[in-house]
Each structure stands twice: as C-alpha cells, then as structure tokens.
C-alpha cells in the first residue's frame, strides 16, 4: 500500500511535548518499514497551529489525494492532523470519497478496516454537535452586537465609508434611485437612467438587481437588521424562508431615508412583485450562449402568450444579452430560439461536408499516432525513474544521510521534472483524434425527438460556448425571416 506521511508541530509543542518533526517522521518511517508500506511523500507543516485546515502542506496533501497519488494518509497522532472533531470528520469524509484510508499510529485508528470506518460515523455525531455549538456562539455574538446598535459584520453598504460615516455623493445616488422608482419606473428603467446619467455604484454600473437590493436594504432607513422574518413579516415581503427570528434595532449611523419612506417603497415593491415571465421553460441554450458584441452571457425569455386565428395559444422563446437586460449598456438584438437552432444546424452541416477532407488525412494521422505511443511509453519509463529517486531521497533523509535543506532541494528538482514529464504525457494522451464529429451528427439526428430539458442537456454536453455575432441593431418587423448572423463555437 502506498501512503502519504503527514507531520505537523507548532513551535510550542516541539519545545514542551516532544513532538519534534524528526521524532514523528522517524517513527512513521519505521512504521512503514514494519508494515511494508511504500512512502509516496512526506508532508510537513512546521510551526503551524491545527486550529483550521488552512495549512500549506496539508493543502498539498489533499490536492495529491485528488490525483490518486497514494492509498492512505499516515499520521503519528490524531491531533497532528487536526484538533477539531468537525474538521477531522470532514477530512476523513473527503478522503473516503476518494477511496483513500487514514491511519493514526498512536491511537491505532485505521479507516482501511471495518472498525475504523464505523468510527467515522461516530465522529460525525460529535462533528455535528461541534458545528451547532459554534453556530450558536456566533449567533449569540451577532445578536448582542445588533442589540447594541452595531452592524453584525460584513461589508459596509454603498453610501457609507468604512467607519459608517455618510458619503454624501453616494447617498444622493441612493435618494435618486428611490425618487425614480417612486416616480413609476421599473428596476431596469431606474438602472438605465442611472447608467445613462453617468452614475456608478463605486466602480460598477447600476443594474436592475442592485436597484432592487438597494431599495430593500433597511440599513438606509437607520435600521440594523439581523436574521430573516417569517413569510408574513413586515419587511420580508419576498422571502420564502422560515429560518430564524429577526432583530431590528435603531442603528447609530445617519440614515438616508426615514422609516416611513422605507415602508412606503417596500409596500410598493410588494404590490408590484407579482408577475414574471410566465410558466417554467427549459431554455435550450442557457449556460453556453454568449453575446458577440460585449461577451456577456445571453439568457432566455418568453414572449407574452398570444392566441392565433386557429384558437391555439403560443409563446416564443428569445435570448437576450444580460447587459442589455440589466441596464441597456449593450445593443445586441434579441435572437429567437429557432434562429439560434438554425445557425447551429448550419454549422454542423458545414462540418459534415468537410468530413471527407478529414478522411484523407487519416493515413498521416495513423503514423503520427504510432509515434505518439512510442513517446508516451518513453515518458512513462522516465516517470518511474523519477519516482524511484524521490523514494530514495526520502529514506536518505529519514536515515539522517542528508539535511532538511538537501531534501527540499532534491525534492523540488525531482518534482519539477515529474511535473514537466506528466505535462508532456498528458499532452500526448489528449491529442488523439476527437470524436466531435460523431457527437455533432448525433445531435442533429436526436434533436427533433428530445424535449426542452434534454435539448439543453445535449447542448451543454457538446458545447463549451456558443457566441452569436451580427451587425444588426434594430431587427423589429422581422417575423418569419432570419436576420444576418453567425456563430462561433467552442467544444467541450
């Protein structure tokens, strides 16, 4: 079995408890010899507390675990790994999910055995208790701060400096947002007006979302709030949670609105909150479609339901640029879903017609493939030699034949060589002929038989990104014809 040794000591422990790096390492190397374990690597965190898992070599160990570099982690004692039951449980769960065991020499704790795996479940109970205890302490501390009229933490809202003093220019923007909204404009229209007039939320443009979040922020009415109200709560008009009680306390900061003004526009937001884009629809190209004009994501929306002469009710799906949606800072026209589909099918047909040209290249590709296989075999042999040398340096260090600095130097050299060799090997193994044509042809053959959700899944499986390009700006009046456009694609 291949194991990774983890050693940790804080300066105080090394002086008072005899947990020196060398003492732990020697005992663990001897333990590996007795049990005939192969040492994959030795990870050392020196002079670092175990209060959390943010330790350099522990993070390196976890990254190597993800790559399958070893079969188990070996430590001298459980508290060398972590002093938190919660962290221990989460680390063991993570290692277990990767099929990696955990062994503590001192406590005879071994998750590669049935008894050791059963212990993980017991640890889980205590980990949950520790989590709830910490959460309870944090909540109590936050509530106490709010009762004293102080913010419970987090970023100071726009409009105030870090000492919670009013920034008048920013405060005037917040008042302007409220005036525009109460004057009858929608969130988006307010964002458009603010952007057009050159106003910024610090360095960012106003959007429909930031307009809404600004209006619902009780802090601007001089209220310090902690928690979430029940659905019928006075201020939680758009919340669905029933999580915790809420504390509303008068803050010590200078308000921008009065409480009456705040309640007035919250009531207006509640009245206007009913609506949306109608019934749920799985948009085929959500997640992959991009605007070729500004690079932003494009999202699906549906037109208002209308009735044809035949009596049939229909809606059409469109895609529009998120920047146009948020504040009209992009003038990319909206694309019908059928138009995007047409462009993709045209793209696939062109590739199909070019397939014959690809076939003529296959003979030369076969020769290149043989050469790749030979080079890959050579690189694998080189990797075996590098890893054998790494193992020798580790044992030499354990036997005091070389110093810490010598080991680090040698290990860095070998790791650099290993990384370079692995990179070359990966490049060779991923340069085989792609099956993209087969997947594209399969897409066209299956398309008409799929429902909305399946179409979206198929598109996101084949394509990494589909970028729409057009020189058109105003396409009103184009009903059945497609306006001039093209696509640029990136495959998975």
Q: Which residues contact 251 (CB under 8 A, 6 or more apart)?
A: 149, 150, 151, 219, 222, 223, 224
Output DSSP code: residue 273. -
CA dist list (Å): 303 to 45, 220, 316, 422, 485: 59, 36, 5, 52, 22
Helix (H), strand (E) at residue 23:
helix 21-35
Helix (H), strand (E) at residue 320:
strand 317-321
Considering only CA atoms, which of 97, 142, 107 is closest in space to residue 244? 142
Question: By three-state DSSP, how is residue 378 classified?
Answer: helix
Nearest-Å Rg of the Cα atoms of the chain is 31
Q: Dig out the tokens for 362 from the structure.
A: 């296959």
Spatial separation of the C-alpha atoms in residues 15 and 23, rounded to whole Å: 12
Q: Dig out the tokens for 59 from the structure.
A: 């993070």
Q: Dig out the tokens for 483 from the structure.
A: 């306006």
**Residue pair 207/326 in contact by the 8 Å Cβ criterion:** yes
Question: By three-state DSSP, how is residue 43 classified?
Answer: strand
List 10, 20, 49, 189, catalytic entry = 10
Q: Which residues contact 244 (CB under 8 A, 6 or more apart)?
A: 139, 227, 228
Neighbouring-strand partners of residue 41: 4
434 catalytically annotated = no
230-265 exposure pattern, b = at least 16 Cβ within 10 A, e = fewer: eeeeebbbeeeeeeeebbbbebebebbbeeebbeeb
Question: By three-state DSSP, how is residue 178 classified?
Answer: helix
Q: Dig out the tokens for 239 from the structure.
A: 């919340």
**Residue pair 210/182 in contact by the 8 Å Cβ criterion:** no
Burial of 191 (0-12, 13-18, 19+ CB in 10 A): buried
Q: Which residues contact 369 (CB under 8 A, 6 or more apart)?
A: 432, 433
Q: Which residues contact 276 (CB under 8 A, 6 or more apart)?
A: none
| Residue position matching structure tokens 């890959």 | 376
**Residue pair 228/245 in contact by the 8 Å Cβ criterion:** no
Catalytic residues: 10
């Amino acid at each position: 079995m291949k194991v990774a040794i983890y050693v940790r000591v804080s300066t105080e422990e090394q002086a008072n408890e005899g947990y020196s790096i060398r003492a732990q390492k020697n005992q663990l190397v001897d333990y590996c010899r007795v049990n005939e374990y192969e040492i994959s690597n030795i990870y050392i965190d020196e002079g670092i507390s175990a209060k959390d898992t943010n330790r350099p070599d522990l993070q390196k160990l976890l990254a190597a675990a993800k790559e399958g570099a070893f079969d188990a982690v070996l430590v001298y004692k459980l508290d060398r790994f972590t002093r938190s039951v919660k962290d221990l449980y989460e680390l063991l769960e993570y290692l277990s999910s990767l099929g990696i065991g955990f062994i503590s020499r001192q406590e005879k704790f071994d998750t590669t055995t049935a008894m050791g795996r059963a212990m993980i479940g017991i640890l889980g109970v205590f980990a949950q208790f520790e989590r709830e205890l910490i959460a309870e302490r944090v909540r109590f501390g936050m509530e106490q701060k709010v009762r004293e009229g102080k913010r419970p933490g987090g970023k100071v809202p726009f409009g105030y400096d870090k000492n919670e003093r009013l920034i008048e220019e920013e405060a005037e923007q917040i008042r302007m947002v409220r005036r525009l909204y109460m004057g009858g404009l929608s969130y988006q229209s307010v964002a458009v007006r603010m952007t057009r007039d050159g106003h910024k939320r610090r360095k960012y443009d106003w959007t429909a979302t930031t307009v809404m979040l600004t209006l619902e922020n009780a802090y601007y009415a001089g209220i310090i709030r902690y928690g979430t109200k029940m659905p019928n709560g006075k201020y939680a008009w758009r919340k669905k949670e029933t999580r915790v009680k809420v504390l509303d306390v008068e803050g010590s900061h200078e308000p921008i609105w009065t409480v009456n003004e705040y309640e007035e526009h919250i009531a207006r937001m509640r009245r206007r909150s009913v609506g949306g884009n109608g019934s749920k629809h799985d948009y085929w190209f959500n997640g992959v479609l991009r605007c070729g004009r500004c690079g932003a994501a494009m999202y699906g929306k549906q037109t208002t339901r209308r009735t044809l002469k035949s009596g049939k009710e229909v809606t059409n799906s469109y895609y529009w640029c998120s920047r146009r949606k948020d504040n009209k800072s992009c003038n990319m026209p909206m694309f019908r879903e059928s138009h995007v589909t047409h462009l993709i099918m045209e793209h696939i047909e062109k590739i199909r017609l070019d397939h014959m040209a690809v076939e003529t290249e296959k003979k030369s590709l076969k020769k290149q493939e043989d050469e790749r296989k030979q080079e890959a075999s050579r690189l694998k042999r080189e990797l075996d030699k590098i890893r054998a040398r790494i193992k020798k340096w580790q044992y030499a260090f354990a036997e005091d034949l070389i110093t810490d600095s010598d080991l680090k130097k040698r290990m860095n050299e070998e790791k650099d060589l290993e990384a370079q060799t692995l990179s070359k090997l990966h490049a060779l193994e991923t340069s085989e002929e792609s099956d993209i044509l087969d997947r594209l042809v399969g897409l066209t053959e299956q398309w008409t038989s799929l429902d909305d959700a399946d179409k979206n899944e198929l598109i996101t499986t084949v394509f990494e990104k589909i970028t729409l390009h057009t020189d058109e700006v105003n396409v009103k009046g184009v009903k059945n014809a497609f306006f001039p456009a093209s696509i640029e694609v990136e495959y998975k």
